Structure 1
Amino acid sequence: MAGPIETLQKLIELSGSENFWASVGSSLGHILLGFVIGTVLGIVFSFLAYKEELVRDFARPIVGLLKTVPVASFVILLLIWLGSSNISIFISAMVVFPIIYVSTLEGFDATDHKLLEMAHTFRMPEGNVIRYIYLPQLIPFFKSSFKLAIGMAFKSGIAAEVIGQPLETIGNGLYNAKIYLETGELFAWTIAIVVISFICEKILLLLLHVMGGRKA
């Protein structure tokens, strides 16, 4: 078992390697792309479900399936169908989608209908309705769901890489550390994941702060 000093030394050693930064960049790009895809789909489908009961009924079993089926099952299926190169994109999106969908739909359902009726009566432009009515209502829901979703995106995305073994990824680095019993390197990669996830979470909260005009 590697101690803190050995782990720190290994992290410094890894950070001086081009392969380390290539792996971090590859995994970060794929996972963030999956996060964006899952977030956009979650928001769009939650709005459609808010407007149409049929969409809500259609989405309910799909969301339930994505929330309950183990990530490993999806990873194996995607490896068979699509290969390993972009697997973390799809897995991250699949994990993020139900989190954002459920939280955003709750935000839409909690919107004050009297404000919406007033906006309709005074023929407020749809853009202003979104900006001044929906968005302030949704910001707290976005805050809680994004904090959960970004962490889950990294956990599931890296797990998918460990199973699928795409080259030059953090998951591949973790797998190699396990194969060669390099516990110091394993902890170093883990610290890198935690730091990257933390930074991404803070950036998201900062963006919400700017969007909502309040402290995130």
Structure 2
Amino acid sequence: MNYKEVLKKVGAALLALTFWEIAALLIHQRILLVTPVAVARRLCTIWRVEGFARAIWFSFYHIAGGFLLGLILGCMLAYLAAKHPVVETLLWPWMATIKSVPVASFVVICLIWLSARNLSVFISFLIVIPIIYQNVLEGLRAENREMQEVATVFQLPWRKRFRYIELPKLRPFLLSACRVTTGMAWKAGIAAEIIGVPNGSIGKMLYTAKIYLDTDDLLAWTVIIVVISVVAEKVFLAGLSRLLNPCSRFMEDTDAGY
């Protein structure tokens, strides 16, 4: 990203904050909407609230865990479906249902089966798995005849075929799916926490702020959620991108091995 794009995004963010400030001043009701300046002040002190770090760790641990479970199982199921069409047929009604049912319905139903403490893990998992599954399945079915011919000429073993052909082919599909699902996992996970209200979670903090009509805290916690979600997405995608980009070493390894 060059500096011009950065300046454009900073300008857009400042413009949005300006509209927010004007709206809050016009409404002039702190219960309905506070100014971004008030939220910024609260962000400077909210870390002193009892259980602040524990709440962030609790939510991050559970939502990230659900996301990773959905990522791993989605990739495994997509691989099986690509190899065996009957698996895709059997999975179709499940994936279609998971994609169609509202998150709130899942949360209410899952509260019957699970404790509130583990709810965000399962809800994040459910949101992630169908998108990962569908994207990885499409990536596995995408043809790359030139690379397959190179692999045949060099007689690459299956491990190197997977590393240098299948992974780069999957890269845009998997990165696109993860880019979408990281944010969705956080939104769904926090929504589950607000409904289930597990102790020591960000969802409990948001629910408490809503009960006491503490709009400063409500918006401050919302900003914290956005920041954590964005940072987690950037870090995870950077690592995944490096993992799925071994092409630069392809000729080097083939020359050394053959």
Which segments of 5 or more consecutive residues in structure 2 lack a partner in the other structure? 1-32, 248-258
In 1, Cα distance between equivalents of 2:70 and 2:143: 23
Amino acid at match of 1:187: L
- Paired residue for 1:146, among 178, 183, 188? 178
**Secondary structure in 1 aligned to 2:236?**
helix
Q: Does 1:199 align with 2:231?
A: yes
Question: Which stretches of structure 1, 4 residues or more, deviate above 6 A after TM superposition?
Answer: none
**Secondary structure in 1 aligned to 2:213?**
coil
Q: In the alignment, which residue of structure 2 is the partner of 1:90? A: 122
Question: How many aligned residue pairs are there?
Answer: 214
**What is the Cα deviation at residue 112 of structure 1?**
2.1
Amino acid at match of 1:54: V
In 2, Cα distance between equivalents of 1:111 and 1:27: 40
1:118-139 deviation line (CA, Å, top 9, x unaligned):
6468653222111111100111
Q: Tell me the TM-score normalised to structure 2 length.
A: 0.79
Q: In the alignment, which residue of structure 1 is the partner of 2:93? A: 61
1:15-64 deviation line (CA, Å, top 9, x unaligned):
12341111000000000000000000110000100000000111111110
Q: In the alignment, which residue of structure 1 is the partner of 2:187? A: 155
| Coordinate RMSD, CA, aligned | 1.7
CA contact (8 A) 2:163 2:246 kept: no
CA contact (8 A) 1:177 1:183 kept: yes
Q: Does 1:14 align with 2:46?
A: yes
Amino acid at match of 1:7: V
In 1, Cα distance between equivalents of 2:90 and 2:235: 33
Percent identical among aligned pairs is: 43
Which segments of 5 or more consecutive residues in structure 1 lack a partner in the other structure? none
In 2, Cα distance between equivalents of 1:25 and 1:14: 15
Query: Which has the higher Rg, Structure 1 or Structure 2?
Result: 2
Q: In the alignment, which residue of structure 1 is the partner of 2:142? A: 110
Q: In the alignment, which residue of structure 1 is the partner of 2:203? A: 171
Q: Tell me the TM-score normalised to structure 1 length.
A: 0.93
**Secondary structure in 2 aligned to 1:124?**
coil
